[in-house]
Amino acid sequence: MSRMKIALAGIGKIARDAHVPALMASDAFELVAAVTRHEPPEGARGFRSISEMKAALPDVAAVSICTPPRGRLQLIAEAFDAGLDVMIEKPPAATLSEARQFADMAARAGCVLFVTWHSRAAAAVEPAKEWLRGKEIKRVEVSWKEDIRIWHPGQSWIWEPGLGAFDAGINAFSVLTHILPGALTVEDAELRFPANKDAPIAADIRLAHAHAAPVLAAFDFDQRGPQTWTIDIETDGGRLALSDGASAMSVDGEPVRLDGGPEYHLLYRQFQALLEDRRSDADLRPFELVADCFLLGRRKLVAPFEDF
């Protein structure tokens, strides 16, 4: 069976680190083009715009968007105008209203839209969801702390007004909204802004699960040494601990053996399944929770941050 021809838009760190290897390993997709101002990946032709690419390579059927969140509206509108199915790297957009428009545009164009949350593809996520089913949630603690110097080296967009440390924290929200049985509500938040930046470097958030159980989250972008991506969940049937960004899991201290490969391999398999069903998946709940933190959050100024 011939593979579906796909393009990548935006050839930055996440495209090179994650998308290109996943596509190279895929037996469903063939990476033939890149829309980028930079060098295209090996074996792919480079184009300046989607319409230019579509004119030269009319059999490209889908595009995977890896550009920074600002400015995607126009790009995605062009993709749907060209009849392409679209997969989107997180966070889906700079604003909720834009992200909402993507789904409307996909429906109007009769195209498939996949708003991805790569942390949901981590190995422990589905086993955790299954284990939590039917249990009462008592308390949740989230610690998502990483060093922006490692994960976003030299990326100026990360400090534009917007997510900041929530660019990582939104991964935790994407896992929580997927595995917890009830809905999450933001009750209180403190956002810490470096005096020289327009985005928060850290945040402490208090949420409620299903109106009742406390969910405490701490996000930090200035974590030296070991990186921390953990979710601990106390239930009436034991204690679940997710670590390494939900790629590892233990129950009451006992490690659980997990299957599962790289997150982006699974994301492209999920995209393939959506394409076969001609079905979209555009869950914006993680992004809504982030917007709620900004809406309700108290701001605190902290020391300037010199990153690069």
Interface with a copy of itself by CB under 8 A: which residues? 73-74, 77, 94-98, 100-101, 104, 161-163, 183-186, 188, 193, 198, 211, 285, 288-292, 294-299
Residue 90 annotated in active site: yes
| 41 versus 162: smaller Cβ distance to a copy of itself | 162
Which one of the listed residues 5, 13, 54, 90 is annotated catalytic? 90
Count Cβ atoms within 10 A of the Cβ of residue 295 and give its class: 0-12 exposed, 13-18 middle, 19 or more buried: exposed
| Helix, strand, coil share (%) of the chain residues, nearest 5 | 35, 30, 35
The CA distances from residue 283 to 102, 106, 114, 175, in Å, are 11, 14, 9, 12
| 75 versus 218: smaller Cβ distance to a copy of itself | 75
Contact 207, 182 (CB under 8 A): no
Tell the smallest beta-carbon distance from residue 163 to a copy of itself (Å).
8
Tell the smallest beta-carbon distance from residue 41 to a copy of itself (Å).
29
For residue 79, give both structure tokens: 């993709």
Tell the smallest beta-carbon distance from residue 66 to a copy of itself (Å).
21
| 228 versus 294: smaller Cβ distance to a copy of itself | 294
Tell the smallest beta-carbon distance from residue 117 to a copy of itself (Å).
16
Q: What is the DSSP string of 97-139?
A: HHHHHHHHHHHHHT--EEE--GGGGSTTHHHHHHHHTTPPEEE
| 200 versus 245: smaller Cβ distance to a copy of itself | 200
Active-site residue set: 90
